[in-house]
A and B are shown apart, each in its own frame.
Chain A
Amino acid sequence: MNIELNNITKRFGDLVAVNDLSMSIQDGEFITLVGPSGCGKTTTLRMIAGLETPTEGTIEFDGKDVTNASPQERKIAFVFQAYALYPHMTARKNMSFALEHTDVPEDEIDQRINEAASMLGIEGHLDKRPPSLSGGQQQRVALGRSIVRDPEIFLLDEPLSNLDAKLRVQMRAELQQLHQEIKTTTVYVTHDQEEAMTMSDRVAILNDGKLQQIDTPGVVYSQPANQFVAGFIGSPSMNFLDCQLDGSSKTLRTSAFSLQAPEEASEDVETLGVRPEELTIAPSGEGDLSAEVSVFEQIGSYNILYLENDDLDEELVAQVEGSNHFDPGERVDIQIDPTHIHLFDRDGDAVYNPPLPSKE
């Protein structure tokens, strides 16, 4: 089912939770709404579900206006952050409860529950109550409760946030697999940009109730529309440095070093953005700048350096290969590839992004 959000705004008193948001979601697409706390992502999801009514704007499902339709009229399933399982009912009863009010025959309800339980690996837990299930099992029951209703749209509100790190990664893969199997339009809300990047067909980044960018994970990472998106997507975050463009020599000047500016760079450039993995360690004396390692974080497959330079107000973060080790206080030379920089104007809008990496 296609979802169309047309200029929706939601106000709670004086607070504008969602501000003039428009978005098209295609049938079968997995789209993630991501942003910091209070950015309006859950409110948007609740408006799609019918649990909140937009103050302004309309919502359409397959071209039909559902702005004022009740949740049950929308053929959606909603997985809540805290699962919202009924603690006094067994897992099986939790899954069948909503179907008991429909014209679905009892044997078909059983069949659907068994199929969903098998898909989610919870066949052995159907007769247990939620309090005796682990977080991951409760999560699966909540998903199963949604699946058995055979909805046209799945809405998931931070469903993995209550799980531990290992289980979260496992469930992330399972959710992707599930979506590939059932191909239902899915809107997923998270504040975790890694979840958004790894699971989605497209990612919508929100801040202060406004849509900042909506595109594929590759594009929002490589070609962020503005400084907020550039800083929010990617971990560690992009480095930002104040800079000026010397128009005559097409040179970008920061307080510590200069770089050849790309052709597209314009006079109103104010900020230079460089991703940590684009800061490379150069042989001594051959880098664009020299810096001192203040903190060395050993991750394993890669390591992270926090770097300080006396001429820079900002701390730089570099991501280096796992085989590179440094000690705090050590000086290193850093090289910046001018073809992989990002430039932003004084409003924070991107004026230059490197081209997308081509698929090999």
Chain B
Amino acid sequence: MSVADRLTGFLDTDQGGLTLAQVLRYIAVLIAVLFVLIPLYWMVATSLKDAAQIGVFPPNLVPDPATLEPYFEAWDTGPWGQYFINTVIVSSGATIGALAIATPAAYALARFDFPGSNPIYLLFMGLLMIPAQILLIPLYNLLANLGLVDTRLGLILVYSTFFLAFSVFLLHSFMTNLPESLEEAARIGGVPEWKIFGKVILPLVKPGLTATGMLIFVFTWNEFLFALTILQSEELYTISVGLQSFQGIHGATMYNQLFAMSTLATLPVVILFALFSDKFIEGIAGLEMQ
């Protein structure tokens, strides 16, 4: 069979082939996937190259030889273990902090018609439109007044505050999607409000909480600007700040070492998505259905 025949058969819908629109769609998806995967591949490939392979032209697409040496060398340049621990603490703290405040707030705004509920919700929506850079100096001054500059707690508070409006917006959407009759049934039965929230609402918005939590965690894991501004002591650095300082140490940037640490920094996020991808997709799908 010739290539032309194969292509004709491929496009022939009567024979179970694909339509032209489907082929174009698959090509578009492929381009989008490559757009994401190529930088990732380049990061991992460079992290496995020795110093001699860096900066050669044309670049080696495949490391030859592949070596883990850049990982060991990079690890010795700074307290990377501490950076990881700091990042886990800050990202987890920010995620828990934002969700702990946003969840009851979203429930109240979604379900209780109290005076000012709509303006408050609109205020949250308005906060979403403020660029982070505008908040940088006021938040720094606030933390300085509270004595929280150069502390992990300070950064956690900033992240929690910054992601509060975002979390309220997402969780509000999930909660308005739940039938009110669930709460009414419990209310008629005399179930206290706190238990309705804890035992009926929270379990049902778990996919929404997971999706929102994962988005906050990933954003804060990668966040650089606030971390660089607020954290000044090296032992408090998060990975993103550590990567930046890593460039400075050597004068000339050792890209294989930088990418080795970047690859390690990406791993927890990849593992997180691998573990919770079902819940994340369920949560995002729940949003899309509205």
Give the B-binding residues of A (Cβ under 8 A): 49-51, 70-72, 76-78, 80-82, 84, 86-88, 97-99, 101-102, 145, 149
Contact = CB atoms under 8 A, between A and B. Distances in A.
Contacts of A78: 184-185, 188
B187 A72 contact: yes
A119 B108 CA distance: 39
B181 interface: yes
Interface string B190-221: 11100100011001100000000000000000
B86 to A, nearest CB: 36
Given A82-B179, A86-B200, A72 B189 contact: yes
Contacts of A76: 188
A84 B179 contact: yes
Contacts of A70: 187
A144 to B, nearest CB: 13
Interface in B10-33: none
Nearest to B184: A51
A80 B199 contact: no
A72 B189 CA distance: 6
B123 interface: no
A97 B204 contact: no
B225 interface: no
A264 to B, nearest CB: 48
Contacts of A71: 184, 187-188
B12 to A, nearest CB: 41
Given A70-B187, A101-B190, 6 more contacts: A71-B184, A71-B187, A86-B182, A98-B186, A101-B189, A149-B189
A49 B188 CA distance: 8
Contacts of B189: 72, 97-99, 101, 145, 149
B203 A88 contact: yes
A51 B189 CA distance: 12
A78 B192 CA distance: 17
Contacts of B182: 84, 86
B184 A80 contact: yes
Contacts of A72: 187-190
Contacts of B192: 101
B106 to A, nearest CB: 19
B190 A98 contact: yes
7 contacts: A50-B188, A72-B188, A76-B188, A82-B179, A84-B185, A98-B186, A98-B189
A145 B182 CA distance: 13
Nearest to A155: B188
Nearest to B192: A101
A101 B195 contact: yes
A84 B190 contact: no
B26 to A, nearest CB: 34
Contacts of A80: 181, 184-185
Nearest to A81: B181
Given A51-B184, A78-B184, A86-B182, A98 B200 contact: no
Contacts of B191: 97-98, 101
Contacts of A49: 188
A76 B191 CA distance: 14
A82 B178 CA distance: 12
Contacts of B204: 86-88
Closest 8 CB pairs of A and B: A98-B189, A72-B190, A84-B181, A84-B185, A71-B188, A80-B181, A88-B203, A78-B188
A279 to B, nearest CB: 44
Contacts of A84: 179, 181-182, 184-185
B188 A97 contact: no
Residue among B179, B184, B203 with max Cβ neighbours from chain A (10 Å) = B184
A102 B192 CA distance: 11
A166 B232 CA distance: 73
A87 to B, nearest CB: 7
A84 B189 CA distance: 12
Contacts of B187: 51, 70-72
Contacts of A87: 204
A78 B199 CA distance: 20
A86 B204 CA distance: 9
Contacts of B186: 97-98
A37 B186 CA distance: 26
A102 B189 CA distance: 9
Contacts of B188: 49-51, 71-72, 76-78, 98
A88 B182 CA distance: 12
A72 to B, nearest CB: 4
A24 to B, nearest CB: 23
Interface in B129-171: none
A99 B186 CA distance: 10
Nearest to B190: A72
A86 B187 CA distance: 13
A97 B203 CA distance: 14
A78 B203 CA distance: 23
A293 to B, nearest CB: 47
Task: Give the residue among B189, B190, B195, B199 with the most A Cβ atoms within 10 A.
Answer: B189
A72 B199 CA distance: 18
Nearest to A86: B200
B190 A102 contact: yes
Given A49-B188, A101-B190, A101-B191, A82 B181 contact: yes
A50 B188 CA distance: 8
